Structure 1
Amino acid sequence: MPAIRKVSIIGAGALGAAYGALLFDMDRDCVSFVAAGERFERLRREGVIVNGRHYAIPVLAPEDTSLPADLVIVAVKNHHLDAAIGEMKNRVGRDTIILSLMNGIDSEERIGAVYGMDKVLYALTMGIDALREGNRVIYTTQGRIFFGEAKNPAVTERVARVQALFDRAGIAWETPPDMLRTLWWKFMANVGINQASAVLRAPYSAFQAPSEARDLMLSSMREVIAVAEKAGVSLTEEDIEAFDPILARLSPEGKTSMLQDVEARRKTEVEMFAGTMIALGEKYGVAVPVNRRLFEAIRDIEKA
Structure 2
Amino acid sequence: MNGPIVVAGAGSIGCFVGGLLAAAGRDVRFLARPRMVAELQAHGLTLTDLEGGDRRVPATSLSVTDEHATLAEAGLILVTVKSSATAEMAESISRHAKAGAVVVSLQNGIGNADRLRALARGQRVVAGMVPFNVVHRGEGRFHRGTDGSLTVEAGVPGLVTELLVPGLVVAEHPDMAGLAWGKLLMNLNNALNALSGLPLRQQLADRRWRLVLAASQREALELLAAAGIVPARVGKVRPWLLPRVVALPDLLFHILAGAMVKIDPEARSSMWEDLEKRRPTEVDHLQGALVELARSLGRDAPVNRKVMEAVKRAEAAGAGSPGITAESLGA
Shift in Å at residue 47 of structure 1? 4.0
C-alpha change, 1:170 and 1:164, in structure 2 (3 Å) is: farther
Alignment of 1:1-304 (within 5 A): 6-27=4-25, 30-35=27-32, 39-40=36-37, 43-51=40-48, 53-56=56-59, 57-62=62-67, 64=69, 68-89=73-94, 92-115=97-120, 119-126=124-131, 128-134=132-138, 135-149=140-154, 156=155, 158=156, 160-168=157-165, 170-191=167-188, 193-209=189-205, 211-235=207-231, 236-238=239-241, 244=257, 248-304=261-317
CA contact (8 A) 1:68 1:96 kept: no
Write the letter of the residue equivalent to 2:223: V
TM-score, scaled to structure 1: 0.84
Q: Is the 8 A contact 2:152 2:171 kept in 1?
A: yes
Question: What secondary structure, in the 3-state scheme, does the structure 2 residue paired with 1:88 have?
Answer: helix
- 2:16, 2:47 within 8 Å by CA — same for their partners in 1? yes
* Maintained 8 Å contact 1:21/1:55: no
Relative distance call for 1:6 and 1:270 in structure 2 (3 A) is same
Return closer, same or farther for 1:196/1:75 CA change in 2, 3 Å cut-off.
same
Change (3 A) 1:60 1:241: farther
Assess if the C-alpha contact under 8 Å between 1:131 and 1:137 holds in 2.
Answer: yes
> Quick check: 2:275–2:314 contact (8 Å CA) kept in 1?
yes
Q: Distance in 1 between matches of 2:83 and 2:197?
A: 21
SS at match of 1:104: coil
User: Which amino acid in the other structure matches residue 249 of structure 1?
Assistant: K
Aligned length: 291
Output the amino acid matched with 1:132: H
Q: CA deviation at 1:76?
A: 1.0
Deviations 1:88-141 (A, max 9, x none): 346522221111111001111111011059611111111x23111344312254
Say if 1:91 and 1:49 are closer, same or farther in 2 by CA, change over 3 A: farther
Q: Mark the runs of 5 or more structure 1 residues left unpaired by the alignment.
A: 150-155
User: In the TM superposition, what is the alpha-carbon distance from 1:80 to its structure 2 partner?
Assistant: 2.2
> CA distance change for structure 1 residues 179 and 66 in 2, over 3 Å: closer, same or farther?
closer
Q: Given residue 26 of structure 1, which amino acid in structure 2 is its aligned partner? A: A
What is the aligned-residue RMSD (CA, Å)?
A: 2.8
After superposition, the C-alpha distances for 1:169-193 in whole angstroms (9 at most, x for unaligned) are 55212222322111100011112x1
With over 3 angstroms needed to count, the CA separation of the structure-2 counterparts of 1:201 and 1:168, relative to structure 1, is: closer
SS of the residue 1:59 aligns to: strand
Percent of matched pairs sharing the same residue: 25
**Partner AA of 2:241 in structure 1:** E
Q: Is the 8 A contact 1:101 1:125 kept in 2?
A: yes
